[in-house]
Amino acid sequence: MATTKKYINPYTDFGFKKLFGEEVNKDLLIDFLNQLLPKKHLIDNLTFKNVENQNDLPTDRKAIFDIHCETANGEKFIVEMQKAKIQYFKDRALFYTTFPIKEQAEKGDWNFRLTPIYFIAILDFFYDEEEEKAKIRRNVQLKDQDCEVFYEKLNYVFLQMPAFKKTKEELKTKYDKWLYFLKNLENFNDIPEILNEPIFNKAFKIAEIANFSQKEHLAYQKSLISYLDMVNVMKTKFQEGKEEGRIEGKKEGKEEGIEFVAIKCIEQGMSFSQISLITGLTEKQLIIIKEKKS
């Protein structure tokens, strides 16, 4: 499979780790993360850690992170590129943060003091319900009944990339520029003037496919095929659900046909926001359909 693109697709496993997961490129990761962090946790340097963590559960449940790193001050970061909607995504994010929590435990007399942990997810989908679709970024902390922060060391940052729609003329901050870079990288032919600064110039050079070795090129093509296959499967599910619903709708009426599409989408684990885009049904209607099906 030959590609005519000049730059890599950062949503592929290879592309994401090429940009952010290599020692020689960690200044890119540091710069990107610093756009998401409070001033007190800004990063000067970091160390990459083993991305595979083994739990001590009887099931030997593992967590394999895209990127796992730690700063000189002990702050721990898990950075994930999530390409498709999966069931219990929030549960998965919470589960993953238990690993850097447990690895801080010390033998013997220990005061239980923990260092800050960040789980950062870059999502190529809308992760939750209809009312959250417009949120490009969501920062999550443990809060009390008055919405005051109870524990500030456990942090989650979710970036819904489909919700980012700024043009180059609308970019104001480095944060905007990073999201614009990730969202559009594969389709650039040249470096936009707005991104013509050292950190992005380096990122473009790393992402340029012509600079890859033969081994890297083959690895990227394999990763790209896997990504495109996944995208095509999702598109096929959408179309099959629509078609089956159309046929069923002819037999049982339009309302039943739309409900049939919704049921098929629910069975595939799609989010309510995705199903709403297809069917026009509200979240409340989808909840009723899901409960009726159960």
What pLDDT, on a 0 to 100 scale, did the predictor assign at position 277? 64
pLDDT digits (tens, 9 = 90+) for 3-12: 578 999 999 9
Q: Check whether residue 190 and residue 258 sit in a common domain.
A: no
What pLDDT, on a 0 to 100 scale, did the predictor assign at position 281? 78
> 3 in a domain, yes or no?
no
pLDDT digits (tens, 9 = 90+) for 223-277: 888 777 776 666 555 555 555 555 554 444 445 567 777 777 777 667 676 677 6
Eight-state DSSP code of residue 208: B
122 or 263: which carries more pLDDT confidence? 122
89 or 280: which carries more pLDDT confidence? 89
Eight-state DSSP code of residue 294: -
> 8 in a domain, yes or no?
no
Q: Check whether residue 96 and residue 40 sit in a common domain.
A: yes
Can you tell me the mean pLDDT for 93-107?
A: 89
> 233 in a domain, yes or no?
no
52, 181, 1, 66 alpha-carbon torsion, rounded to 10°: 0
Are 142 and 116 spatial neighbours (Cβ–Cβ below 8 Å)? Answer: no
Q: pLDDT class for 207, splitting at 50, 70, 90?
A: very high
Q: Check whether residue 197 and residue 266 sit in a common domain.
A: no
Query: How does the average pLDDT of the chain come out, rounded?
Result: 82
For residue 248, the enclosing domain spans 239-293
> 231 in a domain, yes or no?
no
> 4 in a domain, yes or no?
no
Eight-state DSSP code of residue 190: S
> 91 in a domain, yes or no?
yes
- Percent of the chain surpassing pLDDT 90: 45
155 or 249: which carries more pLDDT confidence? 155
Q: Check whether residue 170 and residue 41 sit in a common domain.
A: yes
Does residue 146 surpass a pLDDT of 60?
Answer: yes
pLDDT digits (tens, 9 = 90+) for 41-82: 889 999 998 766 555 544 445 556 788 899 988 899 999 888
- Overall number of domains in the chain: 2
Can you tell me the mean pLDDT for 153-181?
A: 94
Reported in sequence order, the residue ranges of the chain that DSSP labels E, i.e. its strands, are 46-48, 52-54, 62-64, 67-71, 76-82, 117-123, 137-143, 149-160
What pLDDT, on a 0 to 100 scale, did the predictor assign at position 55? 54
Q: Check whether residue 204 and residue 278 sit in a common domain.
A: no
> 69 in a domain, yes or no?
yes
Residue of 117, 92, 93 whose CA lies nearest to 103? 117
Domain boundary among 223, 249, 274: 223
Q: Check whether residue 274 and residue 166 sit in a common domain.
A: no
Write the Ramachandran bin of 60: left for phi over 0, alpha for psi from -120 to 50, otherwise beta: left
267 or 97: which carries more pLDDT confidence? 97
Does residue 185 surpass a pLDDT of 80?
Answer: yes
Stated pTM of the model: 0.74
> 190 in a domain, yes or no?
yes
Query: Phi first, then psi: what are they for 61, rounded to 5°?
Result: -65, 130
Q: Check whether residue 63 and residue 160 sit in a common domain.
A: yes
Q: Check whether residue 125 and residue 203 sit in a common domain.
A: yes
d(CA 4, CA 206): 17
What pLDDT, on a 0 to 100 scale, did the predictor assign at position 49? 85
Strand order, beta sheet including 137-143? 46-48, 67-71, 76-82, 117-123, 149-160, 137-143
Inter-axis angle of helices 283-293 and 254-267, nearest 10: 80
Which of 62-66, 121-125, 173-177, 230-234 tops mean pLDDT?
A: 173-177
